[in-house]
Each structure stands twice: as structure tokens, then as C-alpha cells.
Structure 1
């Protein structure tokens, strides 16, 4: 019988000795608590974060978790100045990894033994298909086969294919998503089996690629139990591959490496010792099959111990418990004392990896892994434990219970002070899942340029770290707008380094400095309030708005630079500028500057162009003035290879100016040349000159926003040209038809089968049945006749 849930007493949150710098939302108390490190000096923070289970590529849902944790980590380290000891694990053995690793091993062996698609391979694949359909698509008849699968599945699962629930009434759920995945898997296998050619190496590769997902479980059902339990390479080959790819993905998203990385497979002996001590403390028991279970009832009988602190309402949720237990949840055993008891150690079945233990060959339970690794590195207590919000129960609740059972003291132990859980990411309302295969991997998203490290991080910053985020078109637009707003601000301030503002006005400086201090206070208060990054982001964009509205002619450069350095520092603390140091005094972020090799020549040609435009508009561009402009910059005869294209642009511009002077060109031709320099020659080198009223042109890189604007403008021009061409074609066709019609003699125009008699001018008098044409009809025909007569006469005259 399940142990009833108890009323949970308040968690013992550390109290600050003075005003706290920071409050955080603590899942243990489900409230905001003052953040007080265990370290007596308040400097060091011990932090354990649940890492990936490495059996497939990380997707955008993982990015949400790890990028958001990285944001919190950077803020604690670089804004609050804490010295972090950040530990993250790699789960490289669990039920999913064992199954996936074994399946991949068996499929690779099957393919090696069958380098061509033989009749035996096809028969095996058909059997695999039949087994897959029978298990996962029960609405299909027992007679279903590869020939009639598509038709029958379309009939029996029509509502799901149409995006509805199975009964066609309510909205689709995860159940329907799984069925849709199974339909897709089976259909892909059918396509491979019915492919007309399976001869070439490319054909063979395509066949196995399409049939893999039905072959994997089938081959495992036949040969899985034959895998040598001592040969861990069957499984580590898979995990090492995906751990390396996970690390690549994280670095591509500018996520800092952990200070310490732990792997489950490296902790076999420590896990055995940890479990053994829990047994000796009286909070676990062994079963006859060699498994060890945590005894929740015994644990809660001890004063100060409470199970399911994070989500007590879920402690009797059998579905969540089953997810936590994996394969063991399906075992029917009377030796488990309580339905809620969970495995600390699992006896290994044939085909599973095993480690030696006092209870026989076995492997760790899912939850015990983190307890052992975190305790080994951080000791009996830590400040922060983090992970995705779906880990609250049972994983983190079980971690807490078993760890406190290990570190047991009178009155209970307290293993973690603050649990930080990241909200889910969903796209179009759907949570991404490896098991549902409905995810976009990080590397796919980056390769397709759907996102980059900065744009994705901005989206997460615009949402609360503890809240779920749904990526919608509006949110993407908001993220792009915020990035563009900050980028353009950096462009303006960096331009002051090239074109300083000489004048200044104390009043304008005072106004902006007041806005500056207010914005800093808003950012600080937001971050102190459980790291409220959405509010902090709004405060930063609000400061830029205040700056943009200021009278720049009266604003000192020193104030502009101070504001820009602060914003730079904050966006770097948030991780929006790669590995750049937040405190190096720099301004801006990557992507706002042109290359060093380009600067000498681009700024020179920009200055010449500004002067040429100014004099051309004023109408006083004489040959002497032009020579004076050109003589200011003479490209050296030799440049570094990287600088050559930019030097050539400068030389070509000067040469074109001289050619126009020799032809005594007018102002418009000079202005056209200046536009060509901006819109073609420099643009093609990735540089844009942004013309400004009463100010020199601003030199900036061609970024995605500019490119999109040009693409849109060019698309509009193409559309207009196409519309004009269509109008001209229609007009030409109309004229051609009119010309052909003009050749018809009006006396012949009505001589058709519709009539049987006509007068001397060719007007109908009788219809085809011999009846008189009505007077009203005759009147209309007469008008048409007169119009045609006029056309015919014009044709004859022409």
C-alpha cells in the first residue's frame, strides 16, 4: 500500500546576515528565497547540473535548458562575482542508451553481414515491418502488408493524419504524436521495400536508411540477449560519439564548458558503495533477483525525512514512476514493498551491461547516478542543483531522498539548498521529444541558419528562465527586433570613434546620465529579483530609446561611450558576444565592425565620396576641387593580400572620378557614381555606407537585416517589372486582336450559322430557324456593325 503524502514543513532556507544581493525562485519552497551560499565568506557557490543522456543529437529543447542554465551561471559569476564550482554529468548508461546502443550494434552487424539487399534481407525486413505494425498500430487488420499498408493506414488513422485526435473529437495529444511517428516509420519502410532498384551502393544505403527503424527493434528481439554483458564498448561506442557531438553543439551555442564533467560509467565502484551505505542506514532493501530498492516508508519514519519535496502531488503518479524506473517498471514482482519504491541498483538481464556488486551483476538505477557523482565532487551539501522542469519528479525528488538517506543525520539531512528548474521549450504548441522524433537538432537549426548562438539566446532571455517558452512568429520577431536595436546603437556609438562629436551640452549630458542611472537600477533590480532577464532586457532597450531621442549634437562622446560600455558589459554577461570579456572596456559585439584590412581604404573612399556628394549637390565640383579631394588618399602600390580588394575599390573610384572630370560630367553623373560605390562595389565586399543628413556616411558591415531589406526591395522591383511586362504583353495582345478584327468586312461579320438571312449591308434579318430578328436585337447588332465598319475603314486607309 502506498505511503500517504505528508504535509511538508517549510524547507530550511539559509538566512542572510545582511541585505541579500539576490533572490531566486527555489523549487524546494516554490517561492523566491534570499540566495545565501554555504561558503562562510559568501564567495564560493557549489552547483550541480543534470547533463545530457547521450544517445542522440541534442535538439532545441536541450538548447533551452543548457543555454538558460549558462545564462544564470554567467550572471552569478560575472554580475554578482561568485566563484562557481559548476559540475555537470554525462549519463552514458541507462535503459534508453542500453537499448539504442545494442540495437545500433546489431544493425551494424546485420549490414556488415549483408552488404547487398538479398532476398533474405528483404524477408527479414518484411518480418520486422509486420512485427512493428502489429505492436504499434493496432487498428490495422492482421492481413495488412507492404502492398496495402498505405491505403489501410490512411483509412484507419485518417483523423490522426489530418492532425486530429484518434477519436476525431478532441485536440491531438502525445498519444496521437506517437501514432503519427509510428505511421511515418512504417510508411518509410514500405517505400524502401517497394523501391524498384536495390542494386547500387547508393540503393543499398537508401534501403537500410528507410528500413532501419523497423529493423532495430526486430533484430534486438532476436539477438539482443546474446550481447556480452562485460563488453561495455557495445554501448560506449554510441555514447562517446554523442557526447562529443553534444559538446560541439554547446560550444556552437556559446555555452561555457563545465568546471567538472562526471560520467556514470566511471563511477561503478562509488555507486555500489553509496547504495551499500543506504542499505546499512536502513533505507533500502535487496530483492532475490539482485536488485536494490529505496524504502520510502522506512525513510519517512525517520524524523526530518520527507519524500517528494519538489512535487508532493505527484508522489503516487504511476506513469511518472514508470518513466523513472524504465524497464523495471514492467516487471511483476511481489518483492517490492511499496509501489512507489524505486530502484537504486538493477540486476542486469541478458544483453545488458553489468558491474560487479554484493548483490550480483547489475547496473545503476537512473536516480542514484547523480547523487553519487554530485556527492563525490561537492560533498554532503551543495548550493544549487539545476535541470529541466520535467526532472522535478521523480528524478530530483528521488535524488534528494536517497542522498539524504546516505548523508543521514539526526533531524534529517539537507542535501540541496536551491533547486533551479528551467521551463520547457515548445514550437507551435508541441514539446520536443527524442522519443517522438519531432525535434529539430541544434546542428540542423544552425546549419539551416534558422538560428545562431546570439538570436536563440536572445529568445531565451526574453522569457523567464523558470517559465515555459513557446517559439511563435511574434516572439521571433521580437528577438530579431531587440538584436537589431542594440546593433544599430553600437553602430552609432562606434562611429563616434571615427567621426567625433566636437560640441557638447551639459544639459543633454545630464539628461542622458539620469536615464543611464535609472536603467542601471532597473537592470540590477530585475536581476536581483530571481534573475528576471525579460525585465532587464526591456530596461536595456529603454535606455537605448532614451539615447536615440537625445540631441546628439549636444551630447558629449564620453557619455555615449559610458552608456555603450555598460550595455556591452551586460550583453557580454548574458553570453551574447562569444567569449568576449565583459570587463575589458570594449564597445559592441561581434559582427558590427569591418575587417582591419579594409579600414584604411574603406574609410578613405568613404571620406572622398562624402566630399564629392557634398560638392556635387552644391553644384561647385570643379576640377581643382576634385583633384584636392583625390590627392588626400593615395593607395600604396603594395598591400597585404587581404587589403587588395579594398585598395582596388579606392583606386577605381578615383579613376572613375577623373574620367567624369575629363568628360566635364554633370552633378548627376557624380552622384550616380557615388551610389554605385555604395550599392555595388562596397556592398559586394560586405560593406555598406549609410548616408546620413548633415553627417558623414556611417561605415558598417552588410548584416542580415540590411540584406533582407535589399532582398525585399529587389523583390518589389522585380514584381513591378513583371507586372509592367505583363501589362505590356496584355496590351500588345489586345492590339493584335484588334488589328485582326479590323480586317473583317462588316458585311461579313454576322454571316454565321446563328442567322439565315441578311440585308444588303450584312445585317441579320432572320435567325437560324427563319424567324424575324427582334427589333431590339437588330438595334444592338446595328451598333456593333457600325463600330466594325469604322475599324475596317481605318484598316483600309492604313
Structure 2
């Protein structure tokens, strides 16, 4: 249902006996409000989310935003059963895209013209280096040579390099991160200039790769204005490439596709119409250069209209205002107020342009979302979302211009009921940002196996959605621990499908059911409390702990399966199991099953191994018993290609058992064979048999945790082996040295230049100067002589 102007929906407290109603943290009110959709039936939810600006690859900071929004979207639809219309835009034209597209186009032309590193290329790059350093690193000498860059930058920016602030007091922040980025860029260019090479095409590419970031802005300053404004392909070539890569990244993170995607370049006429109506309502004005600005003063003169509702404390922040206007926007004296922002920008030479009543131009940054969201969702929506950095000026400007567009009377218009803003992902106190170049791309992180779609999503679920997240070792461990805990729970319950428990007691079922109901209530209350996923995750972990503590011999499989299906449905709602629907009746998530083609042979060999191992330990193995065990399972004569390796393990194990039986081998040989099956044969096929006390072995796939445990075990064994080999080697060397020493006649052992006279036994009496050897020293040498005499006599007796 539509709300009245400047009022929120009628928040109602739930009755004590009723389940908690959903409340969400609303940036618009800066408090938690009960969620009441505009839809009179209370089921349809209209949601607009700010999408990517597609000029580079998405990084983990973007993953934080889009995965977290995806989690909230899934909870609203999958848990609270709302029907969502989810709209997300693609910003495919703005100042950053224009700059990046134009710069890449000019660099491409420059490289085509200069396929080798000529003197002209070097001269141009030196000028680009000088320009970059003067603009971005003012502490360095204006005439700094590339060969002196490392030395001078290390001196002038020593504090920043060491992690301090520019002023030397307080912690480093975004400003220092930007300086470090400029130092890296200039340093890479200096290195390229100091070692140019034309020996191969790869060397030329390496030079351009090093010099690229100083050449891009320099070439743009020289030739940017020459770009044909009507040739939009210069820019769409860039945006189409990165939009495709963004979509691939989102799929790899299991982020649901939007129901509707809008692109700025496809909304030119609608944006012009939107701006015209704002001007018609007296909330916008045109300037002589063909731009149109939003008139904040006129807007706020109307009772009920307020500007900067999301972050009123930032409304006069000139830095944020400038960021909102874009790097290509130039101030004009015709603006009625410094805070007025562009609805439509006249296109300067080198910028793409669309027709408008005010002349060739392009949309302001903020107007695009207002026009697109209004076109698809109408005059009012339930939810608007995005990163926390979009609050001001982007979303505040969106709000003002949209309310100005839809307003027909005094009292204003409620365009958005709930603003949801996701917290940042931080690195060492600085947010992850394309402009700071301090990011790891999503595809890099996944390719290096730093993260999986599940492990990264778990990290975000363990943090509040609107809170900042800094990934630490402790957070990684917490995420890994949760994933392993749930995985091991699924292993145990799924094993009941193979080895059902036929014993149960009503008392144990009743106790566990009460714990189950308590967990469901805790999770519901957490999700209803503004999507409190950290508390919800703890509720799941606590339930698994209760389950693990229960007496499994007295717990019915029915209760185990009920709990497992509920946990499965929740983790699927959270998006932790690929595209599997939460309503799917199966148990567990991907990664807990061995291959389908392995099951027949592997479960058979596991059963045989369990029986043989049990009887070997009991000491009652017999040929008749072994024959009986092996007769239960035979590998099929016809096998699919994928099944053959597993069938071979079964047949090989059976043949080895028969061979040992024929030899009447001792029990220890059968146990060794069982260990080999577990530790080598099946392990090499990615399958592990987990031996359990008083229970059949559990068949499970090998995961990262098992591999890490095996690697650690192998490392310890290797260390012990190496230590033993070292000891043995040292002992052998010592023994060899002693044997060699034993050959020396004690009468000859002291006949060296250190002495000049000896007695009949070869003991020294005079030193090199002819002086008598001191009594103390003679006494010491006598002991050594006697020891050597005994050693030598043993040597002579041995006849060696």
C-alpha cells in the first residue's frame, strides 16, 4: 500500500505469542522499521538495486556488495515468501567510463602506430611520467629523472611507505592508499623506461604494460578532445566486455540474475523526459552551456521536501559533492548553489552525446537510476539498495530528484520506503576500491582458490550486512570451521541412508525435537531482526552441537532426517548450495557425495573391508569366512568407462584378500591390506573411508580439510624420517671417523711440529721452543694417549 507523504508504513509490534515480524534497518530512518510492502496484499515487493559501473573487472569489494544483497534477496523470497521484482541497472556511461574508454582507445591507436619502442615512444613516455609525478606526487622534484625515482620516493614518502599517515600522526587511510598507488604506478613506469627492449614482441608488450598507467592520462590530455562524440562504440566496446565479465563473476559466486536489467545507454529518451519534468516542476534549471542542474533551494522551499535525508551531515561536504559530479565536470558560475548537482551535462569535445532540448549532452550520474527505476517500478518502490558509499551524494540526490519528478502537490512524495546499504570490505583499514587499485578481482581470488563461492558467502553471512567487514585470519578460520561443521553433520546424517539406525527411544527423540524447535525459533527471530545472519548461523551451529551430543543409538532416523532437511533448506536459502531449490527434499549441499558411478563398487568394498577388519582384530578369520564375505559382491562384467576405476579397486581388493587367505597370512597382513585400501587405493580416487568405533566406516569424498590433515600428517612423518636419517648418518660418520682414528699408533699421535722431544711412548716432553711441557698438559695428553692405546689395540685384534 502507498504511504502518505513523508511518513513510514504503520509499524506494528507482533503479539507475544505470534512469530516475530520482519523488521529491517532502514537508512532512511536510521532505525529498524517493520517491513510492510506497498502492495495492498502484502506479497509483492518492488526492489531496485544499484548495479556495476562496467569499466574494469569486479573485485572482492564488489563481491561483498552483490553477494550480500543476494543473501537478503534470497531470505525475503525463500524464507519470508515475498514475490520480488528485482531490478538492477548497469551504468555503461559516466565520467569514469568515458575516461577509461577514451584512454584505452587512444593507447590502442598509439600502440598500433608504434609497434616497437622507438625514441619517440621513450620521449612521449618520459613526458607522461613527468606529468604524472608532478600531478600526483608533489613531494618529489618536478624535474625528477626516472633513474632517481626509487631513491627519492623512498626518502620523501618514507612515512607513507612505512604505513604512517602523510602528516606522520594517526593511522593511514584512503589518502595514503592513493599515494601508495601513485608510487606503484610511477615506479613501474620508471622501471619500464630504464630497461626498454625491442628484442621481441613480448618485450614491447612488457614495456607498454609498465608504462600504460602514465601514458593513459597523458595521451588523453593531448588527444581526448578529438574523439568523435557520435561514435559510441569507443565506449560500448569497453562496457560490453566488462558487463559480460561481471555477469560471469556473479554466476561464479552463485548470485541470482536480476529480474530486469536496465542500461543507461538504452534510456536516453526516458532520461531526457525525466529531466524535462523536473524543470517543469520548477526544481531544475538550464545553463547557457546546455547543462541542467537540480535546484536544491527551490526543492526545500516546498513544505515537506528535505534534501540529504540519508546523510544530512554530509550535505556540505565539497569533496563528496565533487565526487558525485564526476571528474569531467567543470564548475560553472551559473549554478545557483554550489551544492546543486547536474541532471544533464552538456557534452564537451571527446565525450559521447545524446540529443536533448538543451543541446547535445549526457545524463548526470544520479538521474540515470531515478529514470530507470521509475520507468520499471513506477512512482513508489519498497526497497532501494547499494553500497554504503552511495548514501551521499548518489542516493540522496536520487531521492530528491525522484521526489521532485513525482511530486504533484505540497507535502512531497515517498519514492522509497526502505534503503538498505551494504557495508564495505576493508583491507588494512582502507576500503577495497578500483580507484585505489588495492583490490583482488573475483576471478583472481577464485582461480587461486583463495575462496570458493561458498566460503566467501559464509564469511559475509558471519558479519552484519550493513556493517563493515575486514577479512582476518580469525574470520577465515571461523568461516572454515562453520563449513566443516555443517559438512560433517551432513556426512553423519547421509550415512544413515546407508546404515540406518533401527533402535530409538521416545525420550531421546523428544529431547532433540525440543532443541530443534528452539533452534528454529532462534533462527526466525534472528532473520526477522533485520536479517541478522550472524545469529542465525550460530543457531544452526548450536543445533548441530546438540545433535552431535545426542545418543545416536536411541535417536530415530526420522528426527535426524527432519533436522538435516531443515538445515539443508536454510543453507540453500542463504545461497550456499548452488542453484538447488530450498524446497528440494534432498539432504546436504554439493561436495558431500562421492561420484554416482563410484557408489556400487565403493560401498561394496567398504562393507567387505569392515567385516574383514572386524574379524582380523577379533582373531577369528578363516578361509570359509573370507569366502562368505567376498561372495556377497561382484563387480559387474559390463562397466561404464567412469565406473571402471572403482570396480577395479573392488576386484583388486578381493584378489588380494584371496591371495592372503591362500598363503594363510597372519591377521596383521589383512589389517595392512585394509589400511592400504583406505589410505592409497580409494584416496587416489578422491574417496575416504572414515573408520568409526562400533560402527561401519563412513564413505565420504576427500575435501580440503582431509587433505590438509593428510598433508600435516605426512609432514610430521617426513620430519621424523628426516631426523632419523640425520641421526643415522651422523652416527655412521662418527663410527667411520672413530674407525679411521683407531688405526693411529698412540706412539705417533703427538709427533707433530708443536713439539720437539718425546719419551719412549711418544708422549711430548719439550714444546716447539724447547721448553718442558707443563705437567698439567702432560697429564691431559696421557689420558688421551691411554684412550687411543686401547682403541688401537682393539683395532689390531680385529685384524681389519
Normalised-by-shorter TM-score class: over 0.9
CA distance in 1, matches of 2:274, 2:5: 28
Aligned to 1:783: 783
Aligned to 1:155: 155
Aligned to 2:438: 438
Tell me, what secondary structure is at the counterpart of 1:327?
A: coil
- Post-superposition CA distance 1:461-513 (Å, at most 9, x none): 00110111111001100101101010011111111111111111101100100
After the TM superposition, which of the residue ranges 758-767 and 580-589 deviates more from structure 2? 758-767
Shift of 1:789: 3.4
Q: 1:14 aligns with which of 9, 30, 33?
A: 9
Shift of 1:305: 0.6
Shift of 1:758: 4.6
Shift of 1:750: 4.2
Aligned to 1:24: 24
Aligned to 1:6: none
Aligned to 2:345: 346
Tell me, what secondary structure is at the counterpart of 1:81?
A: coil
The residue correspondences of 1:560-575 to structure 2 (distance < 5 A) are 560-575=560-575
Alpha-carbon contact 1:10-1:29 (below 8 Å) kept: no
Aligned to 2:255: 255
Aligned to 1:396: 395
CA distance in 1, matches of 2:333, 2:759: 110
Shift of 1:766: 4.8
Instruction: Specify whether residues 531 and 519 from structure 1 end up closer, same or farther in structure 2 by C-alpha distance, changes over 3 A only.
Output: same
Aligned to 1:542: 542
Matched, 1:93 2:93: yes
Tell me, what secondary structure is at the counterpart of 1:689?
A: strand
Instruction: Specify whether residues 769 and 339 from structure 1 end up closer, same or farther in structure 2 by C-alpha distance, changes over 3 A only.
Output: farther
Shift of 1:741: 3.5
Alpha-carbon contact 2:379-2:415 (below 8 Å) kept: yes
After the TM superposition, which of the residue ranges 633-642 and 138-147 deviates more from structure 2? 138-147
After the TM superposition, which of the residue ranges 508-517 and 137-146 deviates more from structure 2? 137-146
Alpha-carbon contact 2:5-2:414 (below 8 Å) kept: no
The residue correspondences of 1:242-641 to structure 2 (distance < 5 A) are 242-327=242-327, 331-408=330-407, 409-641=409-641
Aligned to 2:17: none
Tell me, what secondary structure is at the counterpart of 2:86?
A: strand
CA distance in 1, matches of 2:400, 2:122: 51
* RMSD over aligned Cα atoms: 1.9
After the TM superposition, which of the residue ranges 498-507 and 743-752 deviates more from structure 2? 743-752
Aligned to 2:724: 724
CA distance in 2, matches of 1:361, 1:48: 29
CA distance in 2, matches of 1:769, 1:779: 20
Tell me, what secondary structure is at the counterpart of 1:316?
A: coil
Tell me, what secondary structure is at the counterpart of 1:147?
A: helix
List alignment gaps of at least 5 residues for structure 1. Answer: 1-8
Aligned to 2:33: 33
CA distance in 2, matches of 1:168, 1:518: 53
Tell me, what secondary structure is at the counterpart of 1:133?
A: helix
Tell me, what secondary structure is at the counterpart of 1:355?
A: coil
Aligned to 1:3: none
CA distance in 2, matches of 1:618, 1:370: 74
Tell me, what secondary structure is at the counterpart of 1:384?
A: strand
CA distance in 2, matches of 1:165, 1:772: 74
CA distance in 2, matches of 1:721, 1:167: 55
CA distance in 1, matches of 2:410, 2:77: 35
Alpha-carbon contact 1:427-1:472 (below 8 Å) kept: no
Aligned to 1:106: 106
Shift of 1:643: 1.1
For this pair of structures, how many residues does the alignment match? 789
- Post-superposition CA distance 1:60-85 (Å, at most 9, x none): 01000000000000000010000001
Shift of 1:391: 0.8
CA distance in 2, matches of 1:549, 1:786: 71
Tell me, what secondary structure is at the counterpart of 1:600?
A: helix
Alpha-carbon contact 2:279-2:285 (below 8 Å) kept: yes
Shift of 1:193: 2.7
List alignment gaps of at least 5 residues for structure 2. Answer: 15-19
Aligned to 2:195: 195
Instruction: Specify whether residues 620 and 464 from structure 1 end up closer, same or farther in structure 2 by C-alpha distance, changes over 3 A only.
Output: same
CA distance in 2, matches of 1:416, 1:734: 85
Shift of 1:636: 1.7
Alpha-carbon contact 1:428-1:472 (below 8 Å) kept: no
Tell me, what secondary structure is at the counterpart of 2:343?
A: strand
After the TM superposition, which of the residue ranges 51-60 and 717-726 deviates more from structure 2? 717-726
Shift of 1:21: 2.1
Alpha-carbon contact 2:117-2:197 (below 8 Å) kept: no
CA distance in 2, matches of 1:791, 1:179: 74
Shift of 1:790: 3.2
Alpha-carbon contact 2:114-2:121 (below 8 Å) kept: yes
